[in-house]
Chains A and B, each alone.
Chain A
Amino acid sequence: MDNVIKQLKENLSKTSSLTDLDKIYIEYLGRSGIINDLISKIKEISNEEKREYGQKVNKLKVSINQLIDIKKKELQSKKSEVFFDNTLPGKTYPRGSLHIVSYAIEEITKIYEKIGFIRVSYPEVDWEYGAFESLNMPSGHPARDDVETSFIDVPAHPTFGKMVLTPHTSNGQNREMKRVGKPPIRMINISKCYRPNWDATHTPMFYQFEGLCVDREITIANLKGTLDYFAEKYFGKGTKTRLRPHHFQFTEPSFEVDISCNICSGKGMGCKVCKSGWLELGGCGMVHPNVLHEGGIDPIQYTGWAFGFGIERIIMMKYGLDDIRNYYSGDIRFLEQF
């Protein structure tokens, strides 16, 4: 044991860095270090000598600790000859954030949650039945041409037709009606959609959110009220909505929704963003009886409304952005602003 101290002193005299000192500490006092080794040997010692042996090892441990401590202080004092200001701020590392679309999805979900709409999620890859037949567009119907659709190259389903990438979120309507079975239905379906376009206001993959409300005595007034509520919550107080007649195969009557422009407060004159005081939000209407029927709901007892808006578009309108392609180009300088 005397040897141990002698050896340690020799080792310490050669040590010039804290890292080396740590190694020595481990060598002597670590889990499988010399001291622990000596302690484990206590089993081999006869009972009479055990007490004395134990005390010796303990003493040794204390001395080693002291020696190492002294050396440590010596090395630290040397090191601190170089000035170190430990009040300096640390290094900053780049921090990620949620994508602009993720924020919007969260915001929309919360807005509708408050008036009892449940966020649902339905497949992005569906059969033709979900995307067209169930929405009052039988095969061969010219309205199908209005939505350019991508088909997936797999064998068609015997009853549901070809496999498609959903061109809109309305495929959730039939599924939700069948899931709930009996109205009331209040859903918000947010999902990716696909159409083969690429310009400032279109990307081949985009997000839509679809609202569907079915119950007894649901009218256009309920639709307008919900749209007004959403416009005020999302775009800010005082935002108005207006409906213009339009045509969609799955709603009758159908409307396009405009919201008043917040940039020019609806004046329109010389406004770069809206030009007319109004901005087009998307489509909506009263659910077509054929669609309700296909979802197993009696169109005589129940009525409903539905709308579908593009998420990229409403973000664009809210922040006055001009190119949707930026959302997906992966440019950090753009994305970190949100």
Chain B
Amino acid sequence: MNIKITYNWLLEYLDTDATPDQIREYLSLCGPSIESVEKVGNDYVFDIEITSNRIDTASIIGIAQEAQAILPMFGKKAKLKFDPLKEYKFENIAGSGHRVVPSLKINIVDPKLCPRFTAIIIENVAIAPSPNFIKNRLIACGIKSINNVVDISNYLMLTFGQPVHTFDYDQIKGQTMIMRESKKGEKIVTLDEKEITLPGGDL
């Protein structure tokens, strides 16, 4: 699997004096293979091969952590600018806000399939195009910009490596989300409007 990330985006999380080409060379020698560096506008796009045992590196944060471990071995400075686990704590974002028990039921049929299912409800959403900086980064990274709701989930996934999916709350049947394996022959329609018949046992 390959992901694309940009140099400037990486620099938001990583403090380094390595040039894009040095990052490509040194990381490829010790960790994830960076297959190419391409200049796009005033930014550089890395095309990175992620091996299936290192899915944790499939994001900006993941690559920043790799860089922090690898670049100093080549005499380059590399340090995470902040600890995202501390920085993005609920209290830090919501300020004086507090957790509300949402009116959404979550039903995990088998905890082995998914030990944790996290959801939030965002109200007063107006669907619109994304701001340009998000649009441009997504396009540079090979992801189609659709609208603010879809784009933000892709943007977060690329930043943190955690897939996020957005649902229309009003469309959720009984306001309950069920986590289960598919039944054989069940049909779903994907985002690109293809109907797929499931073989059963899919998550």
A joins B in a complex: yes
A interface residue numbers (CB < 8 A to B): 142-143, 146, 242, 244-247, 249, 256, 276
B28 CB–A CB distance under 8 Å: yes
- Whether A245 contacts B31 by the Cβ 8 Å rule is yes
Residues from chain A with Cβ under 8 Å of B25 in the complex? 276
B29 CB–A CB distance under 8 Å: yes
Residues from chain B with Cβ under 8 Å of A249 in the complex? 52
User: 5 other contacts beyond A246-B33, A247-B52, A256-B33, with CB at 8 A cut-off?
Assistant: A143-B52, A245-B31, A246-B51, A247-B51, A247-B53
A sample of 13 cross-chain residue pairs with beta-carbon separation below 8 angstroms, ordered by A number, consists of A142-B52, A143-B52, A242-B29, A244-B28, A244-B29, A244-B30, A244-B33, A245-B30, A246-B33, A246-B51, A247-B52, A247-B53, A249-B52
**How far is the CB of B145 from the nearest CB of chain A, in Å?**
27
Residues from chain B with Cβ under 8 Å of A246 in the complex? 33, 51
Residues from chain A with Cβ under 8 Å of B53 in the complex? 247
B interface residue numbers (CB < 8 A to A): 25, 28-31, 33, 51-54
Residues from chain B with Cβ under 8 Å of A244 in the complex? 28-30, 33
**How far is the CB of A29 from the nearest CB of chain B, in Å?**
82
Name the CB-closest residue of B to A246.
B51
Residues from chain B with Cβ under 8 Å of A146 in the complex? 52
Residues from chain B with Cβ under 8 Å of A276 in the complex? 25
- Whether A247 contacts B54 by the Cβ 8 Å rule is yes
Residues from chain A with Cβ under 8 Å of B29 in the complex? 242, 244
Name the CB-closest residue of B to A146.
B52
**How far is the CB of A167 from the nearest CB of chain B, in Å?**
16
| Complexed CA–CA distance, A256 and B29 (Å) | 10
Q: Count how many pairs of residues, one from A and one from B, have CB atoms less than 8 Å apart in the complex.
A: 19
Residues from chain A with Cβ under 8 Å of B33 in the complex? 244, 246, 256
**How far is the CB of A99 from the nearest CB of chain B, in Å?**
31
Residues from chain A with Cβ under 8 Å of B51 in the complex? 246-247
| Complexed CA–CA distance, A246 and B29 (Å) | 10
**How far is the CB of B29 from the nearest CB of chain A, in Å?**
6
Residues from chain A with Cβ under 8 Å of B30 in the complex? 244-245
What are the 5 A-B residue pairs with the smallest beta carbon separation, nearest first?
Answer: A247-B51, A247-B53, A143-B52, A244-B29, A142-B52
Most chain B beta-carbon neighbours within 10 Å: one of A143, A244, A245, A256: A245
Residues from chain B with Cβ under 8 Å of A256 in the complex? 33
**How far is the CB of A147 from the nearest CB of chain B, in Å?**
11
Residues from chain B with Cβ under 8 Å of A142 in the complex? 52
**How far is the CB of A184 from the nearest CB of chain B, in Å?**
29
**How far is the CB of B161 from the nearest CB of chain A, in Å?**
16
Most chain A beta-carbon neighbours within 10 Å: one of B25, B28, B30, B31: B28
Name the CB-closest residue of A to B32.
A245
Name the CB-closest residue of A to B53.
A247
| Complexed CA–CA distance, A143 and B52 (Å) | 7
**How far is the CB of A319 from the nearest CB of chain B, in Å?**
24
Name the CB-closest residue of A to B52.
A143
| Complexed CA–CA distance, A244 and B28 (Å) | 7
| Complexed CA–CA distance, A242 and B33 (Å) | 14
Name the CB-closest residue of B to A276.
B25
Residues from chain A with Cβ under 8 Å of B28 in the complex? 244
Name the CB-closest residue of B to A142.
B52
| Complexed CA–CA distance, A146 and B53 (Å) | 12
Residues from chain A with Cβ under 8 Å of B31 in the complex? 245
**How far is the CB of B53 from the nearest CB of chain A, in Å?**
4
| Complexed CA–CA distance, A247 and B54 (Å) | 9
Name the CB-closest residue of B to A243.
B29
| Complexed CA–CA distance, A242 and B54 (Å) | 21
Name the CB-closest residue of B to A252.
B53
Residues from chain A with Cβ under 8 Å of B54 in the complex? 247
| Complexed CA–CA distance, A249 and B25 (Å) | 25
**How far is the CB of A236 from the nearest CB of chain B, in Å?**
24
| Complexed CA–CA distance, A67 and B51 (Å) | 92
Residues from chain B with Cβ under 8 Å of A242 in the complex? 29
Most chain A beta-carbon neighbours within 10 Å: one of B30, B31, B51, B54: B51
Name the CB-closest residue of A to B55.
A142
| Complexed CA–CA distance, A242 and B25 (Å) | 13
| Complexed CA–CA distance, A146 and B52 (Å) | 9
